[in-house]
Structure 1
Amino acid sequence: MIVYGPEGCGKTRNAEALRKHFGCSNIVDGWTLSQYVVKGSLHLTNETKDDLDIARQHGLSANLIPFGAAMTQMDTAIIARAGLGSTTTEKPSNPKDSVGIRKWRQYATVPATVIAELGVAMLEGAVKYGRHNYRVAGVRASVYVDAAKGHIDQWWEGEDCDPDVPGQRLSHIVKAIASLVVLRDAEIQKMLTDDRPPKANLDRVRLDMQATVEAILDRYPEPKDAFTEIGVRNGQGVTEFRPRIHLTPSEILGLGLQSFHSGGIVSERPTTLVGEK
């Protein structure tokens, strides 16, 4: 038996209960297609359904079941054994878990920290224009694309927070997210003025540029390190500097130099200058 599902979905946490349900003798956790199938064992894997189906066409001999379906099957069997409406202390998981994990509500995947900041960013727009005004007035796509890209570019170029927001503690990244939230909501609500340009041939661009990138990296297999703000702060790129000076015509004659231009010559700093002690 092979139970498959993405990493972190709960396979390992429910492994023992699944093993008992399917009547397997032991558990092979983290199984991959490069390994043999152990007869009578429960195999837990992160491999995708498509890859497993292809492997089965080439001789993989095992029953395949997605983790969500396995949990539903197991919980249904437990409820049936216990009797409708009754309880059991042996139940390894709440039957609602296997159903809830597949619901469209997936709020637990979103970090509350960013949501808190996003709320403040949306508050700024709410007090300036009226909360949810974009659902009534509608929005123009180009305006919010410019806003989002502008905030991202300012952050990328070293400005962490939006200076126009009182307190200057709201990240440009959050302001970009807020712009995209309004843009997407308007699209969902059919309140978007879509002024995007005619559709581009992105497939051609992707293919050409990917080929160019590969050619550049092949020609320069050992690229130089990137210069970064953190690197510069730590002295990246700093080399010993020897100042260059301008010499007057009289100093040129005194040093025995021949080449000069009007106003003096640019030269490496000599050991001793005329008039220098």
Structure 2
Amino acid sequence: MRVLLTGAYGQLGRSLLDRFPADWILLACGSAELDITNQAAVDRIVRRFQPQVIMNTAAYTAVDKAETDRIRAMKINAIGPENLARAARDNGAQLIHISTDYVFDGTKTTPYVESDAPCPVNFYGLSKWEGEKRVQAILPRAIIVRTSWMFSEHGNNFVKTMLRLAQTQQTFRVVNDQRGCPTYAGDLAQAMITLATDANAAGIYHYCGDKAVSWYEFALTIFNLFGNEYPELRSIEVCPISTAAFKQQACRPINSVMQSERTASQASCWDKALGMVMSA
């Protein structure tokens, strides 16, 4: 299998690099090696490498900053995937593109499934939905994987942020009225590898953790688990607050819990996966 990986140095890209089968031929590109917003550069690399599968993990993920940095967010999250889809189509490759739970508005009271209509409440979500639409318009059989609340040993994420702040803070105020499904990037990476080998895989898939929690409950779980290894974390006080009390530039969906109506496959239990982050 010949695979072109974009966004190779983000947390999902690095999780994929840790897990790629040894017999796969891989070209891993960060933004320095491939600017996916540059159509000519994308065409040149795809034409030369001739991948069977392109995995796009490159993304603009700064949710609040996207509200004012709209041109760049749209370039990376919509135009970039469009360029990759066009190159995949023209060179006979499959595209696996990562999207987000933030394409939904959060008003549904039950988990979102693949057939639910997106309606983003912030520009980040809008740019990711636009990316989905552009990919599907060019490459209808492309694989789009929506995921949520990703964490891993790599990069910046909620788990690592909580542990870093705990070195200097004893009290945390964490939102308790937004609910979602934490997802271990290593499990998502393995799911992408499985999809890449499935000739019948196509369309939108939801892939996330197996239990829904609030950010507050997620933080409590982190400190309770890591407190077994680091007793000083047991004294951390986590205070629940409302979204309204936690000022952020971008709106967030109150409910971004997802499940799949297409497959029973889910990420492994995310609270157990937290142990992998601790041991890394």
Q: Give the TM-score of the pair, scaled to structure 2.
A: 0.25
- Structure ranking higher on relative contact order (CA contacts 8 Å, 6+ apart): 2
Q: Give the TM-score of the pair, scaled to structure 1.
A: 0.25
- Structure number with larger C-alpha Rg: 1
